[in-house]
């Protein structure tokens, strides 16, 4: 877990989960966590959505990896997220168009769009993408290597389809779920498509998850103390907050 916070401060990095050194889910903490050699071994970056805290290292990694990879780093992004990356980041103004550099034929990154709701293959993984509730097109994932699967909610408010897929997954080993704002900011959480401890409890009630641990992430650092307090009061079984640097084998 390279980053699991909803904001960046010393000791807090934004969302970024590294799977087996080759695949990264979201790009909020790649360049702050990995060496140049480790970055060059990442073949795929899978994005939940286009918000800055999730995509911010894609342009920095592209710059660092110029001339260091034989094949492009593939950035898997939903249709709208891919368009945002092209139009708003790699537009030659905010950042050079690294999808055509150093040459059009042999670029350092490739942005590969997927349609939300589709299942895609990335290396040895199967990824089911599921639309969730957020102000921009956003997806959660069910990531499986055929033996074990994990669910990653992405940024979302209360949602349905994602939990249906989770409940249908027989090999589910863990759930990574967002929780951003304390209960006192319920209105802001609802407006911005995020969960509070209160709405999280409602979401978890939709899941058949006997024995499946739930790891929470995307806490806004400014509200961390209140978030932890609200969560403790709920005394939810098998639920804990992710810490940067946590490592798991599923």
Residue ranges in contact with Zn ion by CB under 5 A = 51, 53, 155
Is 198 in a helix, a strand, or coil?
helix
Nearer of residues 53 and 203 to Zn ion, judged by Cβ:
53
**Rounded to whole angstroms, how far apart are CA atoms 48 and 142?**
12
**Rounded to whole angstroms, how far apart are CA atoms 28 and 229?**
26
Nearer of residues 44 and 137 to Zn ion, judged by Cβ:
137
Nearer of residues 49 and 209 to Zn ion, judged by Cβ:
49
Nearer of residues 27 and 62 to Zn ion, judged by Cβ:
27
Q: How far is the CB of 173 from Zn ion (least distance, A)?
A: 24
**Rounded to whole angstroms, how far apart are CA atoms 183 and 249?**
32
Nearest to 248 by CA among 6, 22, 20, 13: 20
Phi, psi (deg, nearest 5) at residue 98 = -70, -5
Q: How far is the CB of 155 from Zn ion (least distance, A)?
A: 4
Q: How far is the CB of 42 from Zn ion (least distance, A)?
A: 20
Nearer of residues 53 and 183 to Zn ion, judged by Cβ:
53
Consecutive H or E run containing 39: helix 36-40
Beta-carbon contacts of residue 204 (< 8 Å; ≥ 6 apart)? 177, 214, 236, 239
Q: HSE on the CB side for 166, CA within 13 Å?
A: 29
Nearer of residues 114 and 172 to Zn ion, judged by Cβ:
114
Burial class (CB in 10 A: 0-12, 13-18, 19+), 30: buried
Q: How far is the CB of 87 from Zn ion (least distance, A)?
A: 18
Q: How far is the CB of 244 from Zn ion (least distance, A)?
A: 15
Q: How far is the CB of 59 from Zn ion (least distance, A)?
A: 17
Q: How far is the CB of 148 from Zn ion (least distance, A)?
A: 26
Nearer of residues 57 and 155 to Zn ion, judged by Cβ:
155
Instruction: List C-alpha distances in Å: 114 to 31, 48, 55, 79, 203.
Output: 25, 11, 16, 6, 26
């Amino acid at each position: 877990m390279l980053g699991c916070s909803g904001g960046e401060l010393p000791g807090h990095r934004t969302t970024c989960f590294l799977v087996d050194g080759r695949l990264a889910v979201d790009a909020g903490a790649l360049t702050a966590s990995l060496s140049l050699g480790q970055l060059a071994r990442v073949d795929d970056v899978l994005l939940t959505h286009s918000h800055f805290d999730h995509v911010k290292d894609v342009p920095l990694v592209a710059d660092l990896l110029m001339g260091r990879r034989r094949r492009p780093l593939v950035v898997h992004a939903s249709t709208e997220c891919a368009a945002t990356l092209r139009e708003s980041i790699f537009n030659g103004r905010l950042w050079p168009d690294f999808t055509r550099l150093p040459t059009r034929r042999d670029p350092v990154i490739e942005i590969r769009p997927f349609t939300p709701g589709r299942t895609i293959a990335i290396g040895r993984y199967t990824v089911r993408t599921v639309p969730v509730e957020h102000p921009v097109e956003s997806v959660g994932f069910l990531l499986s290597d055929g033996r074990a699967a994990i669910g990653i909610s992405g940024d979302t408010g209360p949602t349905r389809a994602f939990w249906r897929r989770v409940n249908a997954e027989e090999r589910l080993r863990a759930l990574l779920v967002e929780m951003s704002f304390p209960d006192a900011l319920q209105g802001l959480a609802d407006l911005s498509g995020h969960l509070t401890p209160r709405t999280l409890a409602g979401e978890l009630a939709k899941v058949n998850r006997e024995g499946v641990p739930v790891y929470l992430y995307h806490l806004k650092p400014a509200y961390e103390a209140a978030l932890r307090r609200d969560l403790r009061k709920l005394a939810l079984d098998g639920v804990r907050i992710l810490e940067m640097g946590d490592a798991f084998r599923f």
